[in-house]
Amino acid sequence: MTQDNVRQLADWLEENMAAIADRKVQLNPETIFAVLDDFGVLNNPVVKYFDITEETYYQSESDHKLTLSDDHKLLIDVTDRIMVTHVDGVLAENKVNFEYSHEAVYEDRYLVKRDLEVLTYGLAVIGAVAATVKHNLIQADLSKDAVLSLALAAQNIANWQAK
């Protein structure tokens, strides 16, 4: 993973957020998936998670930050998101602590702007970290559920744009 890829992607998302929400610019989720896979946080490529059940993910890999409410529901249908909101730590000691918040992307309907915020802000925070620390610190300290949330946001935005 190059640090520039994460920052450039976050910058592009920020610049194009309104156009993506207006369906004037297409979001390519594959670009985001490649960056997320490069983090090396999840055991498998992110696209492999969309078709497994919440129960399977919860029991096999989840770090239990994501609210999973229906064991039989597929992960692609999860409506909770974990937003990477903040990072702190002591770089000289190789310690990084990511902070998270829950974001609901559905109320009466799908809220594409919320997923865009989860994706854009999360990648911006991770990109800032990637520019200053070793890759293995991101791999060790970034939540699996947060990475999955970023992938879910990207795929759901693309699905929404396709309708």
* pLDDT tens digit at each of 163 positions of the chain: 456 789 899 999 999 999 999 999 999 999 999 999 999 999 999 999 999 999 999 999 999 999 888 889 999 999 999 999 999 888 778 888 999 999 999 988 999 999 999 999 999 999 988 877 766 778 889 999 999 999 999 999 999 999 9
Count CB atoms within 10 A of the CB of residue 140: 12
Residue among 102, 111, 91 nearest 146 (CA)? 102
Token pair listed for 11 = 């910058």
Residue pair 135/90 in contact by the 8 Å Cβ criterion: no
E strands in 7-143 = 80-90, 95-104
- Give, in degrees to the nearest 5, the angle at Cα 137 between 3 and 53: 95
